[in-house]
Amino acid sequence: MNLVNCKKALTANGWESDLEIGIGDDGRIGHVGPAGAAGGTSVDLLLPAPVNLHSHTFQRAMAGLTEMRGPSSSDSFWTWRQLMYRFLDRLTPDHIEAIAALAFAEMLEAGFASVAEFHYVHHSAGGNPYSKLSELSDRIVSAAETTGIGLTLLPVFYEFGGCDRRSLQGGQLRFKNDVDRYQQLHEAASATVAGSHADFNIGIAPHSLRAADPGGLTQLLTLRGDGPVHIHIAEQVAEVDEIVAHWGARPVQWLLDNHEVGEDWCLIHCTQMTDAETTALAKSGAVAGLCPITESSLGDGIFDGVEYFAAGGKAGVGSDSNIHISLFEELKTLEYSQRLRDRSRAALATENRSTGRVLFDKAAAGGAQAAKRHCGVIEEGMLADLIGLSTDNHWIGHLVDDAILDGLIFGGFGQQCVSDVWSAGRHVVRDGRHAQKADIVKAYRNVMREIESS
């Protein structure tokens, strides 16, 4: 076995000291016990590495390009979306793969060991399919292989431009499939995933209730197999109003009433829910996929984490638009949004666990469930998705147990403490840097020059 020795670790049994973690050739934790023979990799602190449960990697290349006010006096999510559509029309398969590789490398350096990629760009500009329908899905798999990140691929189904079944236009044409063609695409992408790393898997992702009619959604769900189901839901007020007008109920309520939403489901954003919807979703067993940095950037609104967690709800975090990839900043933004709304402090803490511990535990467990990935805890038999951190610093070196997580999340320097990351036993980050970062950055810069000149 490959060995990892640590002075402190957060395991299935809580905080433990002076441990040896053995990683088998299958990428799973084969042994957790007292520190033994010298050798292997030594770290100060070891944590389970969460899943980044929601990402659109191509949007990483848009960071810094959408902060100017448009001709309208009130920019919004919807005006941002138009900019995004125009940008993606410039992207070739090579561009998409290079951008994804950079985003994946940055996720690993941030402490995410795996990602659920909500991948909705399928065709060439104008909507013409590639000779292999899964060409762009295959490029995402290739980027994941290059970086070593764990992958749950979520090919997105997107047929209509709204609940009135209006046709897709402009940049949206790159997303379009009916159910039959989506099935062909999904089968091809599934074959690519099956031929890759053993820890890779695939699910399905109806983009939203606006992008699929009720019959199409029902038909789509028959294709799911054993994979998870992810869907954008209740992100914007205008979206809620449209669903109510056409389907007769708010989106979360409609979905819960009409489908067996349970542990295999992840509902992304949920920033526009009533109290009743919040409680009902928590009781369903599904995961709320939260993207606090992106939700702040786009003015989506604030997820009601206080009521949701009090009702036993499960949640995880994702980097979504990837304008800033940071595990600890996502968690901090989630908590601070609750404090700002309620004018409170330690909003998500419990009597027994600090705010940082609650946030980290939720992200680790919720992300693993959402991706259907056997990870999220340091325990024998689990995938070796691990974060090694240095405590030899003035940021967290003086902190103990749960306070360490509070320092990592709220101190502002958590990512600078990350020294090592393993994904299914692949040791992909050392000394805080991805092993292939230089080549990945070089390829990304070349792509950006091509895009800027196009």
Strands 418-423 and 386-389, by their bridges, are: antiparallel
352: exposed, middle or buried (Cβ count in 10 Å: 0-12, 13-18, 19+): exposed
Q: Which position has the token pair 């050798």?
A: 39
Q: Are 20 and 5 in contact, with CB atoms under 8 Å apart?
A: yes
| Token pair 């020059």 in the structure block, residue | 449
Closest CA to 164 of 242, 218, 220: 242
Amino acid identity at 223: L
Per the annotation, the verdict on 320 as an active-site residue is: yes
Secondary structure (3-state) at 335: helix
Helices 237-247 and 251-258 cross at an angle (nearest 10°) of 50
Helices (H), 111-161: 135-147
DSSP state of 390: -
Residue 216 is encoded by which pair of tokens?
């199409």
Secondary structure of 287-324 as H, E, C letters: EEEECHHHHHHCCCCCCCHHHHHHCCCEEEECCECCCC
Contacts of 81 by beta carbon, 8 Å cutoff, 6+ apart: none
Q: Which one of 123, 197, 269, 434 is the catalytic residue?
A: 269
d(C-alpha 295, C-alpha 130), whole Å: 32
* Residue 42: Cβ within 10 Å count: 15
Contact (CB, 8 A) for 346 and 312: no
Query: Is residue 275 annotated as part of the catalytic site, yes or no?
Result: no
Q: Of residues 320, 385, 402, 406, which has the active-site annotation?
A: 320
Query: What's the count of helices (H) and strands (E) in the chain, helices before strands?
Result: 14, 17
| CB neighbour list of residue 436: distance below 8 Å, 6 or more residues apart | 105, 146, 147
CB-based contacts of 354, cutoff 8 Å, min separation 6: 346, 402, 403, 405, 406
Phi, psi of 268, rounded to the nearest 5 degrees:
-90, 130
Point out the residues that are catalytic.
269, 320
